[in-house]
């Protein structure tokens, strides 16, 4: 899925709808002002560059092993390795659908950061698209949500509830089942890190100060 400005607007509208169930009208007005201000500097092309490369590696079911770029261990495998057999049997159109769902999930995390952040810090570093990608990847699996707030994880789950359910429905309809008799299902942990990936991309791109 190639992200365009319209996608960003639609995702932002969905975020506001979910957040309005949690926050007061005054708080929502402040969030919308944050987004309007931060949206001026958001580039779909910049997001696309990193997200497309990341998802391409995440859906790689051919390369042996569970690890991927950015992962220090195999505790949390890449999705293509975790569901290697079912993914390998899918048509390209079905893989593209999963690509679209994951892209939207990451985008929600990115835009969530633009919504809750007020005046951005003045950056002292700037990146080319490739430099941003290389800076971002190692931090996806180590990013601490507490830099946002103590309940950031719960907020992210709330704003991405529909998207997470759509991916779970996709897994179910394509017989993609994680875990087993002596192992837990890791698919939800993998999906949660996709949301965090979006959050961390925004922070690294927009708020990098050192």
8 A C-beta contact, residue 145 and residue 76: no
Mean pLDDT of 106-123: 82
Check whether 118 has a pLDDT greater than 80: no
* Residue 120 pLDDT level (bands cut at 50, 70, 90): low
Give pLDDT, residue 65.
74
Q: Report the predicted TM-score, pTM, of the whole model to 2 decimal places.
A: 0.90
Residue spans of the domains in the chain: they are 5-207
State the Cα–Cα distance between residues 26 and 18, nearest whole angstrom: 15
CB of 201 within 8 A of CB of 50?
yes
- Tokens 């975020």 appear where? 15
Percent of the chain with pLDDT over 90: 66
* Non-local CB neighbours of 159 within 8 Å, separated by 6+ positions: 14, 15, 18, 19, 108, 112
Sign, CA dihedral 46-148-77-157, equals negative
> How many Å apart are CA 155 and CA 12, to the nearest integer?
14
User: Where do we find the tokens 């899925």?
Assistant: 1
- Residue 187 makes CB contacts below 8 A (sequence gap 6+) with 79, 82, 83, 168, 171, 176, 178
**Minimal CA–CA distance to 46: which of 110, 138, 101, 125?**
110
Q: What is the DSSP letter of 90?
A: S
Q: Model confidence over 35-51: pLDDT tens digits?
A: 999 998 899 999 999 99
Average pLDDT on 87-111 reads 96
What is the helix (H) or strand (E) element at residue 131, kind and residue range?
A: helix 129-136
Instruction: Tell me the mean pLDDT in the region 82-91.
Output: 96
């Amino acid at each position: 899925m190639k992200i365009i400005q319209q996608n960003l607007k639609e995702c932002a509208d969905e975020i506001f709808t979910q957040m309005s169930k949690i926050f007061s009208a005054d708080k929502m007005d402040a969030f919308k002002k944050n987004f309007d201000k931060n949206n001026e500097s958001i580039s779909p092309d910049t997001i696309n560059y990193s997200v497309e490369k990341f998802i391409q590696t995440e859906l790689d079911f051919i390369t042996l092993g569970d690890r991927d770029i950015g992962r220090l261990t195999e505790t949390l495998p890449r999705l293509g390795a975790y569901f290697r057999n079912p993914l390998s049997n899918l048509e390209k159109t079905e893989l593209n659908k999963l690509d679209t769902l994951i892209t939207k999930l990451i985008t929600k995390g990115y835009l969530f950061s633009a919504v809750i952040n007020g005046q951005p810090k003045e950056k002292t570093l700037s990146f080319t698209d490739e430099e941003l990608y290389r800076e971002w990847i190692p931090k996806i699996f180590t990013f601490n949500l507490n830099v946002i707030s103590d309940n950031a994880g719960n907020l992210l789950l709330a704003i991405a509830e529909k998207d997470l359910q759509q991916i779970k429905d996709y897994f179910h309809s394509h017989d993609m089942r994680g875990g087993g008799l002596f192992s837990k299902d890791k698919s939800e942990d993998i999906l949660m890190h996709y949301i965090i990936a979006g959050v961390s991309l925004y922070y690294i791109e927009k708020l990098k100060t050192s």
